[in-house]
Amino acid sequence: MYAYQDLLVSINANQSTDSYRDSFGLRGAVIKNYNRISKNYTTNILFFDVVNNWNSGYVNWSISTPSIKNSTYLLNNDSIMVFVEYQYPQGTMRPEINVTTSTYVDRIRECFSVRPLEMMSLLALTESKNNSVSEFVVKNNLNSTQIISWRFHDGLKFIYSNQTLPLNASESILVFIATNYSDSNVYETYAYANTSAYFSATTSVILT
């Protein structure tokens, strides 16, 4: 956030006047060279520089997720580099970084998804008046084996996996489901996969 200052210069000479007006922003502390690296599908590394453009003193910086706050004494034009490594939970993450000194604030808002278990697709391969064939793909994005189970709703009923399945690192499974329908209609389908810690789901439709 800039602190804006107005500048007005007026000139009077020989009964003539002229003026010049400008506006400029002051930044007491700034975030520079921000970057994020995905170490794996749950762990991310955030790093950035905190630069003090103001008088020597304490510069406050914070991150919302993970919750970290710190205050560092920096000389004018001095800087520090911050590295944060964190294992994020499943979902859409929106960490916010703030740097403040005096009344000046600089801010970065990030957004990324964490999907250790991913439902990659749900498709209707064939659709006719009386039956359909659907497929869905489940992928393990972790660097370790996950034990998964799945279920599928064809618009009429749930179909469950008979047993849990071990899914190795970066491995995926492809599931085919055939369904018979007695009426022509639009049916909403739903595929869901889960482990003890993670889940993923998606929806689609079948026309018969």
Residue 140's DSSP bridge partners are 117
pTM value? 0.70
Residue 176's beta-bridge partner residues?
135
The number of residues making up the chain comes to: 208
Query: Count of CB atoms within 10 A of residue 103's CB?
Result: 10
Cα Rg for the chain, rounded, in angstroms?
Answer: 28
AA identity, residue 191: A
Q: How far apart are CA 145 and CA 125, in angstroms?
A: 29
Per-residue pLDDT of the chain (208 residues; tens, 9 = 90+): 444 445 456 677 666 676 666 554 556 889 999 999 988 888 999 999 999 998 899 999 999 999 999 999 999 999 999 999 999 999 999 999 999 998 888 999 999 999 999 998 898 888 877 888 999 999 999 888 999 999 999 999 999 998 899 999 989 999 999 998 888 888 999 999 999 999 999 999 888 8
Nearest Cα neighbor of 89 from 41, 47, 45, 46 is 41
**Among residues 124, 134, 92, which one has the least CA distance to residue 109?**
92
Class of domain 3-9+28-114: mainly beta
| CATH 2.60.40.10 domain extents, the chain | 3-9+28-114, 117-207
What is the distance, to the nearest Å, from the Cα of residue 79 to the centroid of all Cα atoms in its chain?
A: 27
| Residue of 103, 109, 112, 104 lying closest to 48 (CA atoms) | 109
88: closest CA among 68, 114, 124, 109?
A: 114
Q: What are phi and psi of 159, to 5 degrees?
A: -120, 130
CATH 3.30.43.10 fits 117-207, yes or no: no
Q: How far is 76 from 78, CA to CA, in rounded Å? A: 5
